[in-house]
Amino acid sequence: MNAIVWILWLTATMTFTLTTRNPLYIMIVLGGLFGLGNRLAKERNMTPWVLPNLRFLLTMILLSTLINGLFSHVGNTALFSIPQSWPLIGGDITLESLIYGVINGLVIGTLYILFNTINLALSTKQITRLIPHAFHPIAVVITIALTFFPSIQQRAREIKEAQMIRGNPMKKISDWIPIMIPLLVSSLENAILLAESMTARGFHKQTELQSPRALVSLILAAFMIFSGWILQMYRFPSLFFISLYILGTSLVTITLLTIGKQANVTRYHQETWTKTSMFSAALIGIYIAGFAFLALIGRLSTLGFSPYPRLHLPAIQTLGLIFSLIPLLPILVLHHD
Interacting positions 293-312 with other proteins (CB under 8 A): 303-304, 306, 308
Residues 263 and 136: their CA atoms lie apart, in Å, by: 7
Measured CA distances, 32 to 37, 39, 113, 223, 279 (Å)? 9, 11, 11, 37, 20
Counting contacts by CB under 8 A, is residue 45 touching other proteins?
Answer: no
Q: Which is nearer to other proteins, 141 or 278 (CB)?
A: 141
Q: Check residue 205 for interaction with other proteins (CB under 8 A).
A: yes
Which of the residues 72 through 91 are near other proteins (CB under 8 A)?
A: 72-74, 88
Q: Under rule CB under 8 A, which residues in 119-158 are in contact with other proteins? A: 119-120, 124, 127-128, 134-135, 137-138, 140-153, 155-156, 158
Q: Indicate whether 250 belongs to the interface with other proteins (CB under 8 A).
A: no
**CB-nearer residue toward other proteins: 119 or 243:** 119
Interaction between residue 56 and other proteins (CB under 8 A):
no
**What is the smallest separation between the CB atom of 148 and other proteins, expressed in angstroms?**
4
Out of 12, 36, 107, 326, the only residue in the binding site for other proteins (CB under 8 A) is 107
Residue from 197, 250, 253, 301 touching other proteins (CB under 8 A): that is 197
Q: Crossing angle, helix 238-262 and helix 212-233, to 10 degrees?
A: 160
Candidates 13, 38, 53, 163: give the one binding other proteins (CB under 8 A). 163
The reply to whether omega before 330 is within 30° of 0 (cis) is no
Distance CA 321, CA 58 (A): 23
Burial 42-70 (b: 16+ CB within 10 A, else e): eeeeeeebeeebeeebeebbeebbeebbb
Taking CB under 8 A as the rule, does residue 257 contact other proteins?
A: no
Is 171 or 336 the residue whose CB approaches other proteins more closely? 171
Largest Cα–Cα separation, the chain: 75
The strand ranges marked E within the chain are 78-82, 91-94
